[in-house]
Structure 1
Amino acid sequence: MERYDLLYRLYDDFDTETLRAYQDFVDVFPPVDSRVALDHWQEANEELDERKQEIRDSFASGATFCEVAAKASRDQAFTALDLLSKYDREVNALVLDVDETLRSAGNTDNEIPRETLHVLTEFHEAGVPIVICTGQTLENVKGFMIQGLGNELVHSGTFSIVYEAGTGVFTPGHGSRTKQLLYERLDEEIRSVFDEIRSRVLPDAPDDLRRGVHLQGNEFNVTLKPNFDIGSPDAERVIDRGLVYLLDLLGEAVTDDDRGTEWARAYYADADPEIRTVLEQEGEYPDVDPDEVPGDLAEVFDRIDVAYYHADAAEIGSLELNKVAGVEAALDVLEVDDPFVTVMGDSKSDLRVMEWAESNGTGIAAAPDHASEDVLDHVMATDELVFDRGASAEMLRTVYVLNLLASLG
């Protein structure tokens, strides 16, 4: 009997919704000392085992099908099977953004939900490497991942962190390859630009801007963050001004010509409509045609990324050290030789990884419904894997079930 027919039978003949409710309760039951609560948990666990046994006894591959029913809704299971039918591959690594993807300030208090952490633990136990891919600093990410997933998992040898959007990779348990400073591979010309910008960015800032922002503690990228709640009008104001300021610093760092700031503004406004909009709203759009930017300067700008995140951050990074470069380095250390990954993210930097996965046939992409427009366009044009804000666990379960179904052969 084909897998589609077996799935129809599973979800038509069994009360899978109640089964999942028992499974979720047993999986994420909070640690308590109450005897009554523990007795309730034991009763639920026994009921779960009985319901699973009915499915085990009804299918040739009953153990797999009872796990499918316990993990995924009908829609999720058929989505997983559609993906398996399309790609005929199981996912052999996860590549996951954190902020507004695994966790969301919208309805999870900006913490990774327990359900999500539990599913990640299940992937780990199934031998699927996890790559956290973020713009945050290493120490920050390492700290809350250890807190959420445990020190043993993070240091298991199958867990990696691509930090600062690809400037470095941290993969514990791999000796001399544990920490790779990818920015050290850049030539001196580019590194000197970043050194100058970093040395000037706060000391040379206007007083009102300096009081409204701080420098994120990066190893390489230069990132201005607001001293106000992210998304607030005050944060929007200082980040918009900070973006213009960073563009000017970049222009001054790459040339002694007085027109360097105008050339930087013109080049990046032409490359990114969001940057152009900010410059226009700030009354700082240059009276310069992008074609006027000298060729030698354009060659330098071609290697440097200026990123704008509305009311959140303004950043200068290296286009040679994006998340794609970090992910490739992480997968190499993890010895994922023939990757087929699930990429989950919400921003332009995540989109680059998604496009890399699609163009190389190395994975699928998923995004929360509040992701940037370009990300959503890509995801909808590929496999339509869009999930609700704060519901990353639901998408991860779909991928987990894809792998369960792949095991049926």
Structure 2
Amino acid sequence: MERYDLVYQLYDEFDTGALREYQEFVDVFPAVDSRVALEHWQGASEELEARKDEIRAAFAAGETFAEVAARATREQAFTALDLDAKYERAVNVLVLDVDETLRSAGGTDNEIPRDTLHMLTEFHEQGVPIVICTGQTLENVKGFAIQGLGSEIVHSGELSIVYEAGTGVFTPGHGADTKQLLYEELDDEIRDVFDDVRSRVLPEAPEDLRRGCHLQGNEFNVTMKPNYETGSARAREVIDESLVYLLDLLADAVAGTVDLEDGRSVAALTRAFYADQDPEIRGVLEQEGAYPDVDGEAPAALTEVLSRIDVAYYEADAAEIGSLELNKVVGVERALSVLDVAEPFSLVMGDSKSDLRVMRWVAENDAGIAAAPEHASRETLDHVIRSDELVFDRGKSVDVLRTVYALNRFARLNRDG
């Protein structure tokens, strides 16, 4: 009987909904010092195993089907079958963004849900390395990773943190390779530009920006964050102003490295350069009345520098200057090297343009699949929909993790059978 037919049989003949409820209760039951509560947990565990035993006895691959039914819905199981048929590979590494992906201010109170954390521990126990890939600082990521996953997993040698969107990689348990400051590999010209911008960004900011935003504590990138709730109207206003300010500050820092003989404004040319690169940046400049009126193309001496520097805009969240030579793709490649994942087939989950770069990289190299929340950036969502349609609701990254859990179970059958 074909596997699709067997999965139909599994979900038609067994109460898989109740099975998943028992599994979730057993998985995420809080640690409490209560005899009654522990007896309740023990009873649920016994009922869970009894229900799994019924499935184990009904199918030749009963263990696989029991575990799939306990974790995945019917739709997730059939999606997993489709992915298995398409790629014929198991996911062997997770590459996960954090903010608005694993956790969401709108859907999870900005905490990673316990069911998501538990699924990550399941993948860890199966020997699947985890790469946390974020624009946040290392200390922030280490803090919630240890709190959510536990020190044992974080320091297992099977978890890596790509932080500040790829400027550094932290992989505990790997000796001299544990912490790699990728920005130190940049040449002096670019590092001097960033040093200049960082030293002036707050002291020279207009008063309303100094009061309305703060500088994220990055090691290298220059990131302005709002002092207001992310996504709010006031945060949007401040970040829009910050973007224009950062562009002009960058132009001033770069001006010392180029010589414009035609007398044109470096600030205007810099604004025009990034407006051409990103429609969102252009939209902000137009709305702020800051879109430049420039004639002709920028001289090569200027574009050669600007083409190495990334200006990122995250609506009502952040305005950032980073290096195009250091992005999440570069960080992920280094993390995979340290983790010794020679032939990656990864699950990449993210919501922003920086995550999209990783998604495109794995697509171009046949190195994985991509998933995104429903509120991801338009380009990111378009890419995910065109590939495997792994789109999940806000705060429900666990749904994709369960799908991939089922995929890996089915792929193991192919390998073992």
Shorter-chain-normalised TM-score: which range? over 0.9
Distance 1:407 1:233 in 2: 49
Distance 1:25 1:147 in 2: 21
Query: What per-residue deviation string (whole Å, max 9, x for no partner) do you get for residues 326-348 of structure 1?
Result: 00000000000000000000000
Distance 1:328 1:6 in 2: 39
1:254 equivalenced with 2:254 (yes/no)? yes
Determine the structure 2 residue equivalent to 1:141: 141
SS at match of 1:316: strand
Q: Kindly state the Cα deviation for residue 13 of structure 1 after the two structures are TM-superposed.
A: 1.6
Give the TM-score normalised by structure 1.
0.98
Equivalent of 2:280 in 255, 274, 290:
274
Equivalent of 2:312 in 307, 313, 324:
307
Distance 1:40 1:207 in 2: 59
* AA matched with 1:298: T
Q: Kindly state the Cα deviation for residue 61 of structure 1 after the two structures are TM-superposed.
A: 1.7
Determine the structure 2 residue equivalent to 1:151: 151
SS at match of 2:220: coil
Distance 1:231 1:13 in 2: 46
Equivalent of 1:360 in 349, 359, 365:
365
Determine the structure 2 residue equivalent to 1:207: 207
Distance 2:93 2:85 in 1: 19
1:173 equivalenced with 2:178 (yes/no)? no
Distance 2:311 2:115 in 1: 35
Distance 2:81 2:194 in 1: 47
Determine the structure 2 residue equivalent to 1:398: 403
Distance 1:332 1:251 in 2: 36
1:340 equivalenced with 2:345 (yes/no)? yes
Determine the structure 2 residue equivalent to 1:163: 163
* AA matched with 2:3: R
SS at match of 2:413: coil
* AA matched with 1:283: G
Q: Kindly state the Cα deviation for residue 240 of structure 1 after the two structures are TM-superposed.
A: 0.7
Alignment of 1:106-121 (within 5 A): 106-121=106-121
Flag structure 1 segments of 5+ consecutive residues without an equivalent. none
Q: Kindly state the Cα deviation for residue 38 of structure 1 after the two structures are TM-superposed.
A: 1.7
SS at match of 2:94: strand
Distance 1:69 1:272 in 2: 44
* AA matched with 1:277: G
1:408 equivalenced with 2:413 (yes/no)? yes
Flag structure 2 segments of 5+ consecutive residues without an equivalent. none
1:329 equivalenced with 2:334 (yes/no)? yes
Q: Kindly state the Cα deviation for residue 207 of structure 1 after the two structures are TM-superposed.
A: 1.5
Determine the structure 2 residue equivalent to 1:19: 19
SS at match of 1:305: strand
Query: What per-residue deviation string (whole Å, max 9, x for no partner) do you get for residues 110-151 of structure 1?
Result: 000000000000000000000000000000000010000000
Of 205-214 and 99-108, the range deviating more from structure 2: 205-214
Query: What per-residue deviation string (whole Å, max 9, x for no partner) do you get for residues 37-82 of structure 1?
Result: 2222111111111110011111122111100110101110010010
Q: Kindly state the Cα deviation for residue 292 of structure 1 after the two structures are TM-superposed.
A: 2.7
* AA matched with 1:32: V
Of 324-333 and 270-279, the range deviating more from structure 2: 270-279
Percent of aligned pairs sharing the same letter: 73
SS at match of 1:408: helix
Distance 2:254 2:40 in 1: 67
* AA matched with 2:203: P
Distance 1:196 1:335 in 2: 37
SS at match of 2:50: helix
Determine the structure 1 residue equivalent to 2:77: 77
Distance 1:176 1:224 in 2: 32
Alignment of 1:51-62 (within 5 A): 51-62=51-62
Distance 1:313 1:337 in 2: 34
Of 385-394 and 8-17, the range deviating more from structure 2: 8-17
Q: Kindly state the Cα deviation for residue 231 of structure 1 after the two structures are TM-superposed.
A: 1.3
Q: Kindly state the Cα deviation for residue 210 of structure 1 after the two structures are TM-superposed.
A: 1.2
Determine the structure 1 residue equivalent to 2:67: 67
1:226 equivalenced with 2:226 (yes/no)? yes
* AA matched with 1:394: D
Alignment of 1:192-203 (within 5 A): 192-203=192-203
Distance 1:170 1:388 in 2: 30
Distance 2:297 2:117 in 1: 51
SS at match of 1:135: coil
Determine the structure 2 residue equivalent to 1:317: 322
Q: Kindly state the Cα deviation for residue 2 of structure 1 after the two structures are TM-superposed.
A: 2.5
Of 37-46 and 144-153, the range deviating more from structure 2: 37-46
Query: What per-residue deviation string (whole Å, max 9, x for no partner) do you get for residues 301-339 of structure 1?
Result: 111100001111000000110100000000000000000
Distance 2:50 2:358 in 1: 43
Of 236-245 and 32-41, the range deviating more from structure 2: 32-41
Of 315-324 and 60-69, the range deviating more from structure 2: 60-69
Q: How many residues matched?
A: 408
